[in-house]
Each structure stands twice: as structure tokens, then as C-alpha cells.
Amino acid sequence: MFSSQGHIEMTPSKFWGFVTKSVRRTVNDYLLVGTPKAFEQYEKYCDFRAELGKCLQIHPSCIVVRGSAKFGFSIAPKSDRAWRPFSEDSDIDVAIADVDYFSRLHHDVCSWEERQRVGASGVWGVRKDAKRQEYRGFNCIPDKLFPPNTCVYHVDAMQGFDTSPYCGTRREISAFVFRDWWSLRNRCEYDLIMLKKAVEEKQILSPLEQIDEAETQVDADPERMPPG
């Protein structure tokens, strides 16, 4: 299951099999452990977390990588993103589980909300307000949903962080900051439950269905069919 560098050897089909058996075991045993695919070596992953932790002034063990950078494919419960492979253009999503750091950011965001009218920044502002409330139910603050001119120390650190020494290229980093590990686990479980629901309702194809569809398209392609 684990490579010599600590990568979990996972395919979309294998991952889907684990999800259908147990969402919680999938989160605990696979999502939150192991070396992410974005890093060729475990040592580089450790260096990445150590340096990012130093920039944010948090312990490196509070940082884990999520998203397509984790397994090499996306597990987002969205039809345009599910199972999409990690590519040169992909960013790195990190989850931070640290109560003190969460409290600092949460205080800054709440102070801004108290001073501003809801939706003061237009339609997109209204959408961000709604999304922040959704994540707040999981004790989480995604940095892409920060109000303008808040949490500046975090934004500056993330924008200035160079990932190339650790994964070979400079990638954008986004963070989901959680109050604690229980909150992170609950959000991961929620995302997988939503993924299962979307597959069951045929909004998203399962990996096995994608394979079947691809084979059907190949069979139907005259250029790929043997001459008669």
C-alpha cells in the first residue's frame, strides 16, 4: 500500500472502493496520512511542512495536504472536478488544524463582518459570506473566502511561499484552517458523503463508470475499429 517514500498507492477505482466500504476508515486511514503525490520524497514533504509552519508560526504536524495533490487525482464532490488528475497547473491545498491559529484568523474575520454590511462587496461578496457560514459549521476558515484586507499576515505568507524547492515547481497554495483535528475529520467525511451522494444520484460518474464509458467511446470510434 505504501511506497518506499510513504506514498499511498491509490487509483480512483481503488479509492472509490474504500469509500463505499467505510467513509470514516477512508478518512482516518488514507486521507490524513502518507506522503502526498505532489512530493517525490518524504523528506521534501517534511521540509515543506517545516518551512510553511515556520512562516505561519505553527507546528508542522498541524499541516496536511488535501485535494488532488494528495493522491494525484481530485476527490472534490463536483462534476467538473471529481477524479481529475493532478497537473502542472494544479495548486496545493493544505489543511491546518491548530486552535490558536484558527482563533487569530476567526477573530480577524468576525471583526470585519461586524464592521461591514453583509454583501458590501457585491454579488461575489454575498456568495463568499454564504460560503464562509457553511464552513463555519465545521469550525473552518478557507483563506480563499477571507474578506478583503483581513488576515494579511497569512495572505502575505502564503503568496510569498515558494513551493519549487519541495515539489519541483512553484504552485499556488490555498489553506483550510480548522479549529482542531475533529473538525478537519468531520469536513473530510462530509465531502466524501457528498461525493457518494452525487455518484448515487448520477450527477458524477464513479471511476468504474468512467472506464466503461471511455471503452464504449473507443469501440464506437471508426478510426479505432479494425477494418472489415
pLDDT (tens digit per residue) in 118-148 = 555 555 567 888 899 999 999 999 999 999 8
Distance of CA 214 to the CA centre of its chain: 26
Query: Does residue 17 carry a pLDDT above 90?
Result: yes
Phi-psi region of 226 (alpha: psi -120 to 50; beta: other; left: phi over 0): beta
Predicted local distance difference test score (pLDDT) of residue 123: 53
On average, the pLDDT of the chain sits at 89
Predicted local distance difference test score (pLDDT) of residue 80: 85
| Max CA separation in the chain (angstroms) | 74
Q: Is the dihedral of CA 211, 217, 223, 224 positive or negative?
A: positive
Residues written for the chain: 228
Residue type at 205 in one-letter notation: L
Predicted local distance difference test score (pLDDT) of residue 120: 53
Predicted local distance difference test score (pLDDT) of residue 119: 53
Q: How many CB atoms lie within 10 A of CB 44?
A: 17
pLDDT (tens digit per residue) in 38-96 = 999 999 999 999 999 999 999 999 999 999 999 999 999 998 889 999 998 999 999 99
pLDDT > 70: what percent of the chain?
88
Q: How many whole angstroms separate alpha carbon 203 and alpha carbon 163? A: 35
Reported pTM:
0.86
The 10 Å CB-count burial string (b at 16+, else e) for 184-223 is: bbbbbbebbeebbebbeeeebbbbeeeeeeeeeeeeeeee
Predicted local distance difference test score (pLDDT) of residue 220: 46
Q: Which residue has the higher pLDDT, 120 or 200?
A: 200
Over range 157-171, report the average pLDDT: 95
Cβ pair 109, 116 in contact under 8 A:
no
Query: Does residue 2 carry a pLDDT above 90?
Result: no
Predicted local distance difference test score (pLDDT) of residue 209: 83
Q: So where are the chain's domains?
A: 12-224
HEC secondary structure over 59-101: CHHHEEEECHHHHCECCCCCCCCCCCECCCCCCEEEEEECHHH
- The single residue listed with the C-alpha cell 519541495 is 166
